[in-house]
């Protein structure tokens, strides 16, 4: 197994060697500010620097890539949002938690335990000010009245503040899941007084209680404005900061502002992506204007692939492929479900215009941040997280940087990726595209597993499981080990939550 617990000192030596070729004369650098921008339901083909054939113009994301590093084989831990968000903050595969498939809802219990180490709690212990702005979708505890209804006048407990954030402002789930209220540091900003609903095929959201200060069309702009205000304020302080900007866009409802409507020529989804791109540009410009660009690591990534709500068929009819050359979309075990655009910029550390083809995962933030502050993760922390610092500094490897990476679909299907090989432990998509789990039940001829050679078949068109039984066995055993060990990195065995996980491991049953 490739060693991933790289110490801060060895990581710094790599950076120093790149900068001046004299690591022995280096001094400990100040940890950088970290801005982690998480888009929602955005495909790898939606950013032109990743897929030049795309019809949606993304000049600001392209510029961010030109100034930093573009990862061409980046993946989310899950093909849907709640589990991916869990893994980003914990460095742990989502299926190890109590949530084995699907996503949380309006009044779901918190998914991250208060005593679990998270990226913000670890950074806060090392002098960072930590802030969450955006879509939470990891559950919190609303106050309730005697009838069990949400009482918006009561404090919201077990909220983002309780898992490591000094400041927290956002809403409970997606913009199509009520209630539609903002919560700031455990308090509802305005009590909802009415229910709203939209029936537009692009801008649709479920009927639900809505606060006067919650305007669906303004939510994304509001989050960006607040993020820019936060950056300006923190730039005047001595301590570094971590900003987790978890966007609700371009997830449905698809609501481009008036100035962006019709700009993409491929429909409202394209307009919405262009609007998001423009705001990313504004946030990056704010960092520069605040004078902290040289000391700020900016990451942009999506939480999973494009969603059917984008009207994928309409986009394709206009020549735009949100999943690029890859098969499937959000929810699927296929690449379109979890392969995403990933950009990292950090002046003087990450070489401008660099491209990295190593397989990485959104679980890797935990180990990377630990390396930045010189913290050695304990055995129970970041059990599926790899330190990206050697990749940021241009390091090369003779073998996969991650020993292997596990993927997970909306329905709970597993896949494991190692090098060019990907083994999906399901006969179909494990999600929403054909063949769905329901389709598989009606098709007797499909093999129970799928083995793909992504180097020669990135579109996952040919199942090679019958041709390479030895590779199937090898990857199946490694996946089983990762599950039973409770980790995929070196360290002592850890526990997974919930007995349901064993029900998903059908290949382990007699």
Q: Please check the confidence at residue 69 and state whether its pLDDT lies above 70.
A: yes
Q: What value does the mean pLDDT take over residues 14-33?
A: 51
What is the C-alpha separation between 15 and 390, in angstroms, rounded? 8
| Domain shared by 347 and 484, yes or no | no
Q: What value does the mean pLDDT take over residues 310-318?
A: 97
- Is 79 within 8 Å of 331 (Cβ atoms)? yes
Q: Please check the confidence at residue 320 and state whether its pLDDT lies above 90.
A: yes
User: Could you tell me which residues are beta bridge partners of residue 489?
Assistant: none
| Domain shared by 411 and 499, yes or no | yes
Please tell me the predicted confidence (pLDDT) of residue 200: 79
Task: State the DSSP string of 331-372.
Answer: T-SSHHHHB--EEEE-TTTSPTTEEE-S-EEGGGHHHHHHHH
151: nearest Cα among 192, 206, 189, 195: 192
Residue 91 lies in a domain: yes
Please tell me the predicted confidence (pLDDT) of residue 29: 66
| Domain shared by 279 and 209, yes or no | yes
The CATH number that applies at residue 433 is 3.30.1120.10
Q: What value does the mean pLDDT take over residues 350-364?
A: 97
Domain that holds residue 283: 30-288+295-365
pTM for this entry: 0.93
Task: Quick: pLDDT tens for 85-110.
Answer: 999 999 999 999 999 999 999 999 99
Q: Please check the confidence at residue 504 and state whether its pLDDT lies above 90.
A: no
Please tell me the predicted confidence (pLDDT) of residue 507: 75
Q: Please check the confidence at residue 5 and state whether its pLDDT lies above 60.
A: no
| Close Cβ partners of 477 (under 8 Å, ≥ 6 residues apart) | none
| Domain shared by 100 and 35, yes or no | yes
Please tell me the predicted confidence (pLDDT) of residue 502: 67
Please tell me the predicted confidence (pLDDT) of residue 296: 98
Q: What value does the mean pLDDT take over residues 151-160?
A: 97
Q: Please check the confidence at residue 15 and state whether its pLDDT lies above 50.
A: no
140: nearest Cα among 111, 182, 176: 111
Please tell me the predicted confidence (pLDDT) of residue 41: 98
Q: Please check the confidence at residue 288 and state whether its pLDDT lies above 60.
A: yes
Q: Please check the confidence at residue 25 and state whether its pLDDT lies above 50.
A: no
Q: Please check the confidence at residue 505 and state whether its pLDDT lies above 80.
A: no
Q: Please check the confidence at residue 4 and state whether its pLDDT lies above 70.
A: no
What is the total count of domains within the chain? 2
The CATH number that applies at residue 247 is 3.40.720.10
Please tell me the predicted confidence (pLDDT) of residue 14: 40
Please tell me the predicted confidence (pLDDT) of residue 500: 65
Please tell me the predicted confidence (pLDDT) of residue 395: 80
Between 4 and 190, the more confident residue is: 190
Q: Which of 18-27, 415-424, 471-480 is predicted with the least confidence, judged by mean pLDDT?
A: 18-27
| Domain shared by 355 and 264, yes or no | yes
| Domain shared by 340 and 453, yes or no | no
| Domain shared by 136 and 184, yes or no | yes
DSSP state for residue 28 in the 8-state scheme: P
Calculated CA dihedral for residues 250, 252, 256, 262, nearest 10 degrees = 100
Please tell me the predicted confidence (pLDDT) of residue 503: 66
Q: Please check the confidence at residue 19 and state whether its pLDDT lies above 90.
A: no
- Is 139 within 8 Å of 157 (Cβ atoms)? no
| Domain shared by 351 and 412, yes or no | no
Residue 25 lies in a domain: no
Residue 374 lies in a domain: no
| Domain shared by 315 and 416, yes or no | no
Q: What value does the mean pLDDT take over residues 326-344?
A: 98
Q: Are strands 69-71 and 354-356 parallel, antiparallel or unpaired?
A: parallel
Q: How confident is the model at residue 400 (pLDDT cuts 50, 70, 90)?
A: confident
Helices 268-289 and 219-234, interaxial angle, to 10°? 10
| Domain shared by 418 and 358, yes or no | no
% residues pLDDT > 90 (the chain): 87
Residue 347 lies in a domain: yes
Q: Please check the confidence at residue 358 and state whether its pLDDT lies above 90.
A: yes
Q: How confident is the model at residue 397 (pLDDT cuts 50, 70, 90)?
A: confident
Q: Out of 344, 365, 386, pick the residue that ends a domain.
A: 365
Residue 386 lies in a domain: no
Q: Please check the confidence at residue 216 and state whether its pLDDT lies above 90.
A: yes
Residue 125 lies in a domain: yes
| Close Cβ partners of 55 (under 8 Å, ≥ 6 residues apart) | 264, 265, 266, 270, 315, 318, 319, 320
What is the C-alpha separation between 140 and 170, in angstroms, rounded? 12
Between 507 and 116, the more confident residue is: 116
| Domain shared by 451 and 342, yes or no | no
Please tell me the predicted confidence (pLDDT) of residue 492: 97
Which tokens belong to 275? 């609007």
CA distances 295 to 33, 35, 38, Å, are 6, 11, 20
Helices 268-289 and 59-67, interaxial angle, to 10°? 40
Residue 254 lies in a domain: yes
Q: Which of 9-23, 329-343, 377-391, 486-500 is predicted with the least confidence, judged by mean pLDDT?
A: 9-23
| Domain shared by 57 and 119, yes or no | yes
Please tell me the predicted confidence (pLDDT) of residue 106: 92
Please tell me the predicted confidence (pLDDT) of residue 501: 67
Please tell me the predicted confidence (pLDDT) of residue 202: 86
């Amino acid at each position: 197994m490739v060693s991933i617990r790289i110490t801060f000192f060895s990581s710094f030596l790599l950076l120093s060697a790149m900068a001046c070729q004299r690591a022995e004369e280096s001094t400990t650098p100040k940890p950088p500010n970290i801005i982690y921008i998480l888009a929602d339901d955005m495909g790898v083909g939606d950013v032109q620097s990743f897929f030049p054939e795309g019809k949606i113009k993304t000049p600001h994301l392209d510029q961010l890539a030109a100034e930093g590093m573009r990862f061409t084989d980046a993946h989310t831990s899950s093909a849907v949002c709640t589990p991916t968000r869990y893994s980003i903050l914990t460095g742990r595969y989502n299926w190890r938690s109590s949530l084995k498939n699907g996503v949380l809802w309006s009044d779901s219990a918190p998914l991250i335990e208060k005593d679990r180490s998270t990226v913000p709690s670890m950074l806060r212990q090392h002098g960072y000010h930590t802030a969450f702005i955006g879509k939470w979708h990891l559950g919190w505890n609303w106050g309730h009245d005697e009838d069990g209804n949400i009482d918006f006048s009561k404090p919201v407990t077990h909220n983002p503040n309780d898992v490591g954030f000094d400041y927290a402002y956002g809403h409970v789930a997606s913009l199509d899941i009520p209630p539609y209220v903002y919560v700031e540091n455990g308090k509802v900003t305005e009590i909802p007084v009415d229910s709203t609903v939209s029936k537009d095929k692009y801008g649709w959201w479920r009927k639900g209680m809505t606060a006067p200060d919650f305007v669906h069309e303004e939510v994304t702009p509001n989050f960006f404005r607040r993020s820019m205000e936060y950056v300006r304020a923190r730039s005047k302080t001595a301590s570094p900061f971590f900003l987790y900007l978890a966007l609700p866009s371009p997830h449905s409802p698809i609501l481009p502002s008036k100035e962006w409507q019709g700009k993409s020529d491929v429909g409202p989804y394209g307009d919405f992506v262009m609007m998001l791109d423009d705001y990313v540009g504004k946030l990056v410009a704010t960092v520069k204007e605040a004078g902290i660009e040289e000391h700020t690591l900016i990451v942009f990534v999506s939480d999973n692939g494009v969603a059917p709500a984008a009207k994928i068929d309409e986009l394709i009819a206009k020549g735009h492929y949100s999943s690029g050359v890859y098969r499937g979309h959000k929810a699927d075990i296929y690449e379109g479900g979890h392969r995403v655009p990933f950009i990292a910029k950090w002046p003087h550390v990450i070489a401008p215009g660099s491209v990295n083809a190593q397989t990485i995962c959104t679980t890797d933030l935990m180990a990377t941040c630990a390396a930045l502050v010189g913290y050695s993760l304990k055995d129970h922390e970041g059990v599926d997280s790899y330190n990206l610092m050697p990749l940021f500094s241009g390091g090369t490897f003779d073998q996969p940087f991650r020993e292997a990476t596990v993927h997970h679909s909306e329905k709970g299907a597993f896949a494991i990726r190692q090098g060019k090989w990907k083994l999906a432990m399901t006969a179909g998509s494990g999600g929403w595209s054909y063949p769905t789990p329901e389709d598989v039940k009606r098709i007797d001829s499909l093999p129970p597993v799928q083995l793909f050679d992504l180097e020669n078949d990135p579109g996952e068109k040919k199942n090679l499981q019958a041709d390479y039984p030895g590779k199937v066995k090898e990857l199946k055993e490694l996946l089983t080990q990762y599950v039973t060990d409770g980790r995929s990195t070196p360290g002592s065995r850890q526990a997974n939550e919930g007995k349901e996980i064993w029900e998903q491991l059908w290949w382990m049953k007699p």
